[in-house]
Amino acid sequence: MSILSEIEKGESRKLEFKEYLPESSKISKTVIGFSNGAGGKLIIGVNDNGEVTGVSDDEIFEIPDKISNIIYDSCYPAIIPEMYIENINGKNVIIIEVFPGNLKPYYIKSKGKLKGTYIRVGATNKLSDEEMIMELERQKRNISFDEDCVYDFDLSNVDFSKLKKDFFRYTQREISEENLINFKLIKEEHGMKYATNALILLTHNNLFEYARIKCARFKGNDIGEFIDQKELVGPLYEQVENAILFAKTHINKNGKITELQRTDEYEIPIVAIREIISNAVVHRDYSILGADIKFAIFDDRIEITSPGLLTKTLDIEDIKIGRSEIKNRVIARFFKEIRFIEEWGTGIRRIIKSCIDVGLEEPEFMETGMFFKVIIKKKSGDKVAISGDKVAISGDKVTTSSDKTIINNFEIQLSQAEGKIVNYLKEYESITNKEARGATGLSSSGVRKVFDGLIQKKIIIALGDKKSRSYKLYFPPGHKIL
Q: Could you read off the pLDDT of 89-125 as tens digits, one per residue? A: 899 999 999 999 999 999 999 999 999 999 998 888 9
- Which residue stretches of 210-346 are H helix? 236-250, 270-283, 316-320, 329-337
Q: How confident is the model at residue 417 (pLDDT cuts 50, 70, 90)?
A: confident
Q: What is the dihedral of CA 451, 454, 458, 459, to 10 degrees?
A: -100
Contact predicate 16/42, CB 8 Å: yes
CATH number of 391-473: 1.10.10.10
Query: Can you give the residue ranges of every domain in the chain?
Result: 3-140, 143-379, 391-473
Considering only residues 403 and 231, tell me which one the structure prediction assigns the higher pLDDT: 231
Please list, in sequence order, all residues whose beta carbon lies within 8 angstroms of the beta carbon of residue 106, skipping any fewer than 6 positions away: 32, 35, 36, 75, 76, 77, 79, 117
Q: From the centroid of its chain, how far is CA 422?
A: 22
Tell me the residue type at 20.
Answer: Y
Burial class (CB in 10 A: 0-12, 13-18, 19+), 459: buried
d(Cα 108, Cα 467) in Å, to the nearest integer?
29
Please list, in sequence order, all residues whose beta carbon lies within 8 angstroms of the beta carbon of residue 469, skipping any fewer than 6 positions away: 49, 432, 433, 462, 463
**What would the pLDDT profile of 351-385 be if each residue is shown by its tens digit?**
999 999 999 999 999 988 789 999 999 986 433 33
Among 7-11, 203-207, 261-265, 278-282, the range of highest mean pLDDT: 278-282
Q: What is the pLDDT of residue 435?
A: 86
Sign of CA dihedral 169, 322, 33, 8: negative
CATH number of 143-379: 3.30.565.60
Q: What are phi and psi of 206, to 5 degrees?
A: -65, -15
Q: What is the pLDDT of residue 438?
A: 80
Q: What is the pLDDT of residue 312?
A: 67
d(Cα 282, Cα 350) in Å, to the nearest integer?
16
Q: What rounded mean pLDDT belongs to the chain?
A: 85
DSSP for 179-223, please give it.
Answer: HHHHTTSEEEETTEEEEBHHHHHHS--TT-TT-SEEEEEESTTST
Lowest-confidence region among 134-148, 296-310, 417-431:
417-431
**What would the pLDDT profile of 182-205 be if each residue is shown by its tens digit?**
999 999 998 899 999 999 999 976
Please list, in sequence order, all residues whose beta carbon lies within 8 angstroms of the beta carbon of residue 41, skipping any fewer than 6 positions away: 6, 14, 15, 16, 95, 96, 97, 98
Q: How confident is the model at residue 257 (pLDDT cuts 50, 70, 90)?
A: low
Q: What is the pLDDT of residue 253?
A: 80
Q: Coil, helix or strand for 319?
A: helix
**What would the pLDDT profile of 18-27 be if each residue is shown by its tens digit?**
999 988 889 9
Q: What are phi and psi of 122, to 5 degrees?
A: 60, -125
State how far the alpha carbon of 429 is from the alpha carbons of 394, 407, 474, in Å: 16, 19, 10
Q: How confident is the model at residue 413 (pLDDT cuts 50, 70, 90)?
A: low
First to last CA, the chain: 45
Per cent of the chain over pLDDT 70 is: 88
Q: What is the mean pLDDT of residues 227-237?
A: 93
Please list, in sequence order, all residues whose beta carbon lies within 8 angstroms of the beta carbon of residue 394, skipping any fewer than 6 positions away: 481, 482
Please list, in sequence order, all residues whose beta carbon lies within 8 angstroms of the beta carbon of residue 53, skipping any fewer than 6 positions away: 19, 45, 46, 47, 91
d(Cα 372, Cα 362) in Å, to the nearest integer?
16
Burial class (CB in 10 A: 0-12, 13-18, 19+), 177: exposed
Q: What is the pLDDT of residue 478?
A: 45
Please list, in sequence order, all residues whose beta carbon lies within 8 angstroms of the beta carbon of residue 67, skipping any fewer than 6 positions away: 21, 27, 81, 83, 96
Q: What is the mean pLDDT of residues 19-45?
A: 93
Q: How confident is the model at residue 399 (pLDDT cuts 50, 70, 90)?
A: very low
CATH number of 3-140: 3.30.950.30
